[in-house]
Amino acid sequence: MAEMPKPLTTRIIREEEEWDAIRDDWNTLYASSPYSSVPLDFVWLRGWWRVYGTLYGKVGLRVVTAWRGSKLVGAIPLYVSRGVGNSLGARHLRFISTGEEEHEETCPDYLNLLCLPGEEVVCGHTAFRERPHQ
């Protein structure tokens, strides 16, 4: 009889220190994911956040991670920004390394859910299920 997989849990990372603490897990996931691309590399993302995070991501990080036990099986590097010129101050959820002013754009391609093979559907559903305002 096949062993049932461990349940998937989701953690939303909001602090840089918490994100840095999973660097090795992120790198292991990146090395195994069929969706890996330079803009999803930990060093690329952290570099972008150091340069542009305080300007464009003032509301903060929202790196969504999916775990099976202690194993990182999925991640989506996101942040929240406030709409510029919007009197209502609408918030936008964006991929890290996007959202800059045109003269500062890094134009990253291939942004996606970073996940292990076979975990795409469950990670996608888990990451985007409706949550209370956070």
DSSP string, 68-120: ETTEEEEEE-EEEEEPTT-TT--EEEEETT----GGG---------EE-TT-H
At 31 the pLDDT is 98
Q: How far apart are CA 130 and CA 126, in angstroms?
A: 9
SS3 at position 32: helix
Domains with residue ranges and CATH for the chain: 8-127 (3.40.630)
Q: What is the pLDDT along the chain (134 residues), one digit of tens a residue?
A: 667 778 889 999 999 999 999 999 999 999 999 999 999 999 999 999 998 888 888 889 999 999 999 999 999 999 998 766 555 667 788 889 887 777 777 767 778 889 999 998 888 887 766 443 44
The whole-number pLDDT of residue 1 equals 63
CB distance 39 to 108 below 8 Å: yes
Cβ atoms of 56 and 4 closer than 8 Å: no
| pLDDT given for residue 110 in this prediction | 76
Rounded to 5 degrees, what are φ and ψ at 35?
A: -105, 10
